[in-house]
Copies of this chain bind each other. A is one copy, B any other.
Amino acid sequence: MSKIKQISHVAVVVNDMDKSLLFWRDALGLEMTELRDVPAEKSTIAFLPAGQAEVELVRPTSDDSGIAKYLAKRGPGMHHICLEVDDIEDMLVRLKGKGVRLINEETRIAANGKKYAFVHPESTGGVLVELYQA
């Protein structure tokens, strides 16, 4: 049976990357391992590991992406939590069997080749949850 292994990352949507880094990197002292433009997500993403997990700061680079619309509607803040699962296909079958509403009914492939899928906040208590298989 598939199992959640850990929190992979917490994604924070920001409107000012430099200002956000003043807190997360410079004040808090987290190491920023990468600041990467991700065209597929129309975003620039800063990766800051904290133990096993990461904080990801996401700044939209276009106005028409889902994350840009989220930012416009809700303001900056936590966007989603990503959980690492050991067998994502099995997990999606189980979630569907339990009546959980999925945003991605089938797994998608990230730029790094890994599988992921999003669960709808309606089924989680208001949290956008990403499942990810490392």
Interface of A toward B, CB cutoff 8 Å: 1-7, 10, 12-16, 19-20, 22-24, 26-30, 50-53, 55, 57, 75-78, 81, 83-84, 91, 94-95, 98, 100, 119, 121, 123-127
Contact = CB atoms under 8 A, between A and B. Distances in A.
A94 B27 contact: yes
Q: Say how many copies of this protein the assembly contains.
A: 2
B6 A51 contact: yes
7 contacts: A4-B50, A6-B50, A7-B7, A12-B126, A20-B125, A27-B98, A75-B126
Contacts of A100: 23, 27
What DSSP secondary structure best describes chain A's contact surface?
Answer: mixed
A1 to B, nearest CB: 7
Contact of A7 (B3, B14, B22, B53): B53
Residue of A26, A27, A52 with most partner-chain B CB within 10 A: A27
Contacts of A125: 12, 14-16, 19-20, 23-24, 57, 76-77
